[in-house]
């Protein structure tokens, strides 16, 4: 039933940002080293994500956009690693119900001949045709929410805020994915296409941050490199680091943070957190960082640091809570982890000369 499908789909794809996230993650899943994201009218007219990943095999065409169809279960042995990829087989199916949706895909062996796939709102494949294409996949989402008038109006009304969120989250993917060339562009009306930012395929997070956030002053803001090692849990039985491996710690936090009390003007809201390179909000972790930073900058200080922190840890040390409208990450034994984080961060700041 179309209506039921549309309403249910509205729970997976809640806004512009979730569309972009799902499509970019699909490109990452496909092993892309280049991801090009193009918007028309800030996504109100069209969102296109082009990658140079593996492409889609013809035997997956029919089922591609059917609910709960995923090609990924067979390719990843460990179910726990699957968690990080979000909703299983629901993104494309939802997008069919919520937009004019089409795909062009091309396997390496077939280039420069690709296949265009068109789908009905039910997710049923309605048409295929041969088109020129390079290896990879381009997914196109036009007129998002056009068949859900209330949601469409809401999107149009909030487009400024939504757009800010979209650009922010794309910037995060672009910064953390050092092996991927990202490019984001936008075209207003019939105007010229403008590139918002682009990164190089083989760069450091530091270079990416400068490319995405532009300002030269940011190089000053990201003064300190983070490379903290923490123990995840107090329960020895759960530790995969044992004495035999020389006390290897099970959590690493890598990234950048501004120097405390640095005289440069700080940019608030430039705090980005990742778990295994997936952007996510971690309010408790953010609070721990800001507390230690403040105690070094003086409590009267209104400055908040630039933070870019990727928490690398084994998937058995956290849960991804996939509720219909958001993904939250729950770190096991979080309080202990936060305590050791504060200690390590304090030690880092102590070791600096001001």
Taking each helix axis from N to C end, the angle separating 334-350 and 283-297, rounded to the nearest 10 degrees, works out to: 30
Of 26, 205, 241, 304, the residue at the interface with ligand ADP (CB under 6 A) is 26
Q: Of the two residues 94 and 241, which places its CB atom closer to Mg ion in the complex?
A: 94
Binding mask 75-94 for ligand ADP (x = CB under 6 A): ----------x-xxxxxxx-
Which residues in 246-275 contact ligand ADP (CB under 6 A)? Answer: none
Which residues in 38-57 contact ligand ADP (CB under 6 A)? Answer: 51, 53-56
Maximum separation of any 2 CA atoms in the chain, in Å:
66
Phi and psi at 201, nearest 5°, equal -70, -30
Q: Which stretch binds ligand ADP (CB under 6 A): 23-31, 118-126, 233-241, 287-295?
A: 23-31
Which residues in 293-322 contact ligand ADP (CB under 6 A)? Answer: none
Q: What does 289 bind: ligand ADP, Mg ion, none (CB cut-off 5 to 8 Å by kind)?
A: none
Q: Which residue has the tokens 């997070």?
A: 205
Q: For residue 15, which of 159, 182, 173, 179 has the smallest C-alpha distance?
A: 159
Q: Binding to ligand ADP by residue 114, rule CB under 6 A?
A: no
Q: For residue 60, which of 51, 73, 71 has the smallest C-alpha distance?
A: 71
Q: Binding to Mg ion by residue 103, rule CB under 5 A?
A: no
Q: For residue 159, which of 47, 49, 267, 51 has the smallest C-alpha distance?
A: 47
Q: What does 232 bind: ligand ADP, Mg ion, none (CB cut-off 5 to 8 Å by kind)?
A: none
Look up residue 36 and give its two tokens: 């090009």
Q: Smallest gap, in angstroms, from Cβ of residue 334 to ligand ADP?
A: 27
Binding mask 124-153 for ligand ADP (x = CB under 6 A): -------------x----------------
Of 6, 18, 27, 297, the residue at the interface with ligand ADP (CB under 6 A) is 27
Q: Of the two residues 53 and 114, which places its CB atom closer to ligand ADP in the complex?
A: 53
- Under 8 Å between Cβ of 139 and 48: yes
- Four-residue CA torsion sign, 77, 78, 82, 84: negative
Q: How far is CA 234 from CA 71, 230, 313, 346, in A?
A: 38, 11, 15, 21
Of 34, 41, 60, 147, the residue at the interface with ligand ADP (CB under 6 A) is 60
Binding mask 24-53 for Mg ion (x = CB under 5 A): --x---------------------------
- Under 8 Å between Cβ of 156 and 44: yes
Q: Which residue has the tokens 């004495």?
A: 243
Look up residue 329 and give its two tokens: 């990450």
Cis? peptide before 112, omega within 30° of 0: yes
> CA-CA distance, 323 to 165, in Å (whole number)?
20
Of 16, 19, 20, 30, the residue at the interface with ligand ADP (CB under 6 A) is 30
In the complex, the residues that contact ligand ADP under the rule CB under 6 A are: 22, 26-27, 29-30, 51, 53-56, 60, 64, 69-72, 85, 87-93, 137
In the complex, the residues that contact Mg ion under the rule CB under 5 A are: 26, 91
């Amino acid at each position: 039933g179309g209506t039921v499908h549309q309403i249910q789909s509205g729970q997976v794809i809640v806004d512009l940002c979730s569309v972009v996230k799902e499509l970019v993650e699909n490109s990452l899943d496909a092993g892309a080293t280049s991801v090009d994201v193009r918007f028309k009218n800030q996504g109100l007219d069209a969102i296109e994500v082009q990658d140079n990943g593996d492409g889609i095999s013809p035997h997956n065409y029919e089922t591609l956009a059917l609910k709960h169809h995923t090609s990924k279960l067979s390719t990843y042995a460990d179910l726990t690693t699957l968690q990080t990829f979000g909703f299983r087989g629901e993104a494309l199916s939802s997008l069919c119900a919520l937009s004019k949706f089409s795909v062009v895909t091309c396997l390496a062996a077939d280039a420069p001949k690709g296949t265009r796939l068109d789908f009905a709102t039910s997710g049923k494949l309605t048409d295929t045709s041969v088109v020129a294409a390079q290896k990879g996949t381009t997914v196109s989402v036009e007129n998002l929410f056009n068949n859900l008038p209330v949601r469409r109006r809401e999107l149009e009304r909030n487009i400024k805020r939504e757009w800010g969120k979209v650009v922010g989250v794309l910037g995060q993917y672009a910064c953390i994915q050092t092996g991927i060339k990202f490019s984001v562009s936008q075209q207003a009306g019939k105007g010229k296409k403008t590139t918002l930012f682009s990164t190089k395929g083989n760069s450091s997070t530091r270079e990416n941050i400068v490319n995405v956030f532009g300002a030269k002053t940011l190089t000053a803001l990201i003064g300190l490199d983070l490379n903290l090692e923490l123990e995840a849990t107090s329960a020895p039985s759960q530790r995969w680091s044992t004495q035999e491996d020389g006390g290897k710690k099970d959590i690493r936090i890598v990234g950048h943070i501004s120097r405390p009390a640095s005289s440069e003007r700080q940019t608030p809201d430039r705090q980005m957190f990742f778990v295994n390179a997936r952007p996510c909000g971690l309010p408790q972790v953010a609070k721990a960082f800001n507390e230690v930073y403040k105690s070094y900058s003086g409590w009267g200080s209104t400055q908040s640091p630039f933070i870019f922190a990727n928490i690398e840890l084994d998937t058995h040390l956290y849960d991804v809570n996939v509720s219909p409208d958001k993904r939250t990450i729950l770190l096991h034994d979080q309080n202990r982890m936060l305590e050791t984080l504060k200690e390590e961060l304090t030690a880092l700041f102590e070791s600096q000369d001001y």
